[in-house]
């Protein structure tokens, strides 16, 4: 398996989009299926945003400071996703706003993924060598071992607080 940071993050994106599709393909009254999809979405997003916030964004920002504005926007997009994930985590699948809130999360994250894959990743790939991307990928893999899987875990809460205070 590749340790290229961009390849690893694109694999995450693919899994996240599959979980979105699982939610979207569930019937309107398929509350159990939607609840299971929600759990998967929250877990995948919690891990992924942690990895990008704690490893990818700081590393790229240090190497390519001219991408700072894009990275700061990405931090904010993650913060919005984190807030929606926390709200969804405690919302019953048959609640009136459950589907609407999940749809907003899906739309926001899909837009974020599209921007990363079509604009930001190509800029990073063009300017960082294979070795640098592999080294960042190694750190992503190490961080994945300790990454939170729930927005209620302390490291996920710290990430949310950092988004407000930094």
pLDDT of residue 154: 61
pLDDT in tens, 21-74: 999 999 889 999 999 999 999 999 999 999 999 999 999 999 999 999 999 999
pTM of the model: 0.91
Q: Given CA atoms 111, 115, 118, 121 in this order, what sign does their dihedral have?
A: negative
Instruction: Kindly report the number of other CB atoms within 10 A of residue 19's CB atom.
Output: 21
Q: What is the mean pLDDT of the chain?
A: 92
């Amino acid at each position: 398996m590749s340790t290229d940071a961009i390849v690893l993050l694109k694999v995450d994106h693919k899994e996240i989009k599959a979980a979105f599709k699982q939610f979207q393909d569930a019937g309107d009254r398929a509350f159990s299926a939607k609840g299971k999809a929600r759990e998967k979405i929250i877990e995948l997003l919690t891990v992924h945003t942690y990895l990008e916030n704690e490893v990818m964004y700081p590393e790229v920002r240090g190497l390519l400071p001219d991408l700072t504005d894009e990275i700061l926007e990405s931090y904010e997009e993650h913060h919005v996703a984190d807030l929606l994930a926390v709200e969804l985590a405690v919302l019953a699948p048959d609640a009136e706003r459950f589907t609407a809130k999940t749809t907003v999360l899906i739309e926001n994250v899909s837009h974020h993924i599209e921007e990363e894959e079509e604009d930001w990743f190509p800029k990073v790939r063009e300017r960082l060598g294979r070795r640098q991307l592999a080294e960042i990928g190694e750190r992503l893999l190490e961080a994945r071992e300790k990454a939170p899987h729930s927005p209620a875990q302390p490291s996920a809460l710290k990430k949310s607080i950092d988004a407000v205070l930094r």
